[in-house]
Amino acid sequence: MMLDVTAAFTAVLQTVRDTGTERVSFESATGRILREPVLADRPFPPFDRVTMDGIAIRYDSYARGQQIFVVEDIQAAGTPQLQLSNLANCMEVMTGAVLPELTDTVIPYEHLDASEHEGFRRFTVNQPVRKGQNIHKKGSDVKADTVLLSPGALLGPAEAGVLATVGKTQVQVARLPRVAVISTGDELVPVSATPETHQLRMSNVYSLGASLQQMGINARRVHLEDNAAEMVNTLRSLLYETDVWISSGAVSAGKYDYLPAVLQQLGMRQVFHKVKQRPGKPFLFGTFNNGPVVFALPGNPVSGFMCFYRYVQPWLQAAMGAAPQQPAYAVLAEKVHFDAPLEYYLPVKLQSQPNGKMLAFPQPYQGSGDLASLLHADAFITLPAEKALFKKGEIYPVWKFR
């Protein structure tokens, strides 16, 4: 029986296996999935931090009417905390410095007139002063031992800054799965070749490879000719060296679509073959005991592309322990008619509006072989199988690939 998309997706996620973890330098952790909590090793900020260049005073003196402050010393950033010895004086302070002991308020140079009197530098206040101004209080952003990052976080630029701040030079991240992308078909020639009229350059393995590369995964590439015995041999040699296979083609009803039988011969447990979706109906999925999970995607380029983002990427993210992603939605910007009893994945261009709404514009699309249509799209909008007419203004889920 053919599964619907929801059932197929559930079945795919039930096979998720943990890829395990490894420790890497925080500098090479960008794009990886964190697998340990990261705590604040000390308060943020770690001391009462001066936020303006100027002077630090004791507010009481100002409150009593004092306007002129004699400079005692300078507290620069990166120097140990000084102490004001005469409470009626001030300390010059620089942004990033520790607030001097016995001071509690910082007045910026912009609110001061500088002068000199009997060899002493002094400042006269020319603007109202608020007690405690221009100080970033110790621990006001984050208390020590707060969990800053939880397992499952995707490490990006904001996370890199936090890892650096807490001195986390080595970080535990998900191990990247070993993936093989497998092309099939006698019509395919290498990219560097000049194809004969009846031949094509293999493209699917490169778009799949690029999708994986964006997740930090460098897949190996394998090509299979339409020859069942050779397919068995080549795939058998891959069984123990890979965690995931993503193949393209040879799973439909053609005379030379040997892959389902070949996978069965190798001992794969088939989870399903065919899903009520367009494109991508011939999608076959299975697992080997102590061997790879197999995403046997249809050969038509848009089909394989859509299946990658709908099934493969969520599986890989879950296997690496990534926090689940929020579903995205968009407003259909033009009406669509599609009456096959299949969930329809239509390439759309997303455009966010000044009113905050995301519009999805269906792109000219000649069907699942139309690989160039993806150049003008950012996502697939998902139109449910139960309906045939989809009106402008209706809201549907989108699966983004850009």
| Site residues (vs ligand AMP, CB under 6 A) | 183-185, 187-188, 200, 202-205, 248-250, 252, 254, 298-301
Interface size with Mg ion, residues (CB under 5 A): 3
User: x/- site string to Mg ion, residues 92 to 111, per CB under 5 A?
Assistant: --------------------
Q: Minimal distance in Å, beta carbon 256 to ligand AMP?
A: 8
Would you say 100 or 301 has its CB closer to ligand AMP?
301
- Identify what 330 binds: Mg ion, ligand AMP, none; CB under 5 to 8 Å per kind: none
| Helices and strands, counts by H and E, the chain | 8, 28
Would you say 34 or 251 has its CB closer to ligand AMP?
251
- Identify what 205 binds: ligand AMP, Mg ion, none; CB under 5 to 8 Å per kind: ligand AMP
Residues 262, 210: Cα–Cα separation, whole Å: 27
Interaction residues for Mg ion, span 176-235 (CB under 5 A): 185
Q: Is the backbone of residue 318 left (phi > 0), alpha (psi -120 to 50) or beta?
A: alpha
How far from 200 is each of 35, 192, 219, CA to CA, in Å? Answer: 42, 11, 22
Asked whether position 151 contacts Mg ion by CB under 5 A, the answer is no
Residues 251, 34: Cα–Cα separation, whole Å: 36
| Chain-centroid distance, C-alpha 365 | 28
Is the separation of the CB atoms in 280 and 344 below 8 Å? no
User: x/- site string to Mg ion, residues 245 to 274, per CB under 5 A?
Assistant: ----xx------------------------
Q: Minimal distance in Å, beta carbon 274 to ligand AMP?
A: 13
Residues 6+ apart with CB under 8 A from 387: none
**What are the structure tokens assigned to 168, written together?**
């986390």
Q: Minimal distance in Å, beta carbon 203 to ligand AMP?
A: 4
Would you say 103 or 204 has its CB closer to Mg ion?
204
Is 357 in a helix, a strand, or coil?
coil
Q: Which residue has the tokens 């890199």?
A: 160
Enumerate binding residues for Mg ion (CB under 5 A): 185, 249-250
